Amino acid sequence: MAKQRTPDGPPPPPPVQKLRIQYARRGRLRHSSTRDFGRALERALRRSGVPMAYSAGFHPHPKISYANGAATGAASEAEYFEISVTEQVDPDAVATALDEALPDGLDIVTVVEARPGGLADLLQASRWELRFPGVEVADLEVAVAGFLAEERIEVERMFKRGVKSYDARGPVEWARTGLDEDGCAILAMVVRHTTPAVRPDDVLSAITAATSFAPPRSPIATRLAQGIWSSETESVADPLAAD
């Protein structure tokens, strides 16, 4: 029987604290992928001196877990991840140091000590805003009304195992049109998190399929919040807020 190899040296220090972190993805950094952000985050953690906990084994990795990242190309004010550290730290100090170490456009919003339970369980829905330059708000309103009148609208997306068809209407809890401060037509909506995830471009594809709506160019999508969905208030609650 072959002798089992074990890593040289002592095991890494155990984690003593877990932090939950909200960050924003703004401007040109909305085009960064989850992998791009992961690399930038690991560099920032090293530069800021955060006492990261690492996995054991021959190739230790910092203990970071990501939750429900927005698709590449979408801006967001509400992205989340967790880290484990080997010393008790001040969350506010970590927020300041990490924000200074990250590039502009990847901005730390809040750092809190993690409560019991999984972060992913608290991310039940997202509130989105889609901005439609060059579109009349009346035309957008008619299109959204046609979309909401349907019970189910199938869309398709390519996945690793091939094309999959799924409903992009059911997860949309509400959708409302309006104008932003610059007079641009906007669509605000809350979308429940499902598997597969229904993204803003899926909703737009469903609107187009249900109506004759054809914007001259793709809208600018921004996730304004994600968290616990309340059907009573029709709102998305902050997942990092105290109980």
Report the pLDDT value the prediction gives residue 60, as an integer from 0 to 100: 87
* R_g over Cα of the chain: 21
CATH class of segment(s) 17-121: alpha beta
For the chain, give every residue range classified as CATH 3.30.70.580. Answer: 17-121
* End-to-end alpha carbon distance in the chain: 54
Percentage of the chain modeled with pLDDT above 90:
85
Q: 64: part of which helix (H) or strand (E)?
A: strand 64-67
Which value, to the nearest 10 degrees, does the dihedral of the CA atoms of residues 194, 203, 182, 176 take?
-80
Statement: 123-237 belongs to CATH 3.30.70 = yes
For tokens 């921004």, name the residue: 222
What pLDDT was estimated at residue 4?
60
Per-residue pLDDT at 140: 98
Which residues, 6+ apart, have CB-to-CB distance to 20 below 8 Å?
A: 80, 81, 82, 111, 112, 113, 114, 119, 239, 240
Residue 195: name the closest of 235, 227, 159 by CA: 159
Q: How far apart are CA 78 and CA 100, in angstroms?
A: 18
What pLDDT is attached to residue 185? 98
Q: Are 121 and 114 in contact (CB under 8 A)?
A: no
Give mean pLDDT, residues 27-40.
Answer: 92
Lowest mean pLDDT among 52-61, 133-142, 206-215, 224-233: 52-61
Segments in the chain forming alpha helices (H): 34-48, 91-101, 137-148, 200-210
Which tokens in the block code for residue 106? 């990847």
d(CA 16, CA 13): 9
pLDDT tens, position by position, 100-131: 999 999 999 999 999 988 999 999 999 999 99
Q: Tell me, what's the pLDDT at 161?
A: 86
Residue 22 CA to residue 227 CA, distance in Å, equals: 11
Report the percent of the chain where pLDDT is more than 70: 95
Mind listing the pLDDT tens digit for each residue in 150-180? 999 999 998 888 899 999 999 999 999 999 9
Banded model confidence at residue 27, pLDDT cuts 50, 70, 90: very high
Residue 135 in this model has a pLDDT that exceeds 90: yes
CA angle 236, 239, 243 (to 5 degrees): 105
pLDDT for residue 57: 76
Query: d(Cα 192, Cα 142) in Å, to the nearest integer?
Result: 23
How far is residue 101 from each of residues 42, 83, 97, 106, measured CA to CA in Å? 10, 16, 6, 10
Instruction: Please give the C-alpha separations between residue 3 and each of 9, 13, 67, 117, 152, in angstroms, as whole numbers.
Output: 18, 26, 38, 39, 58
Residue of higher predicted confidence among 58 and 80: 80
**Where is average pLDDT lowest: 2-16, 35-49, 59-73?**
2-16
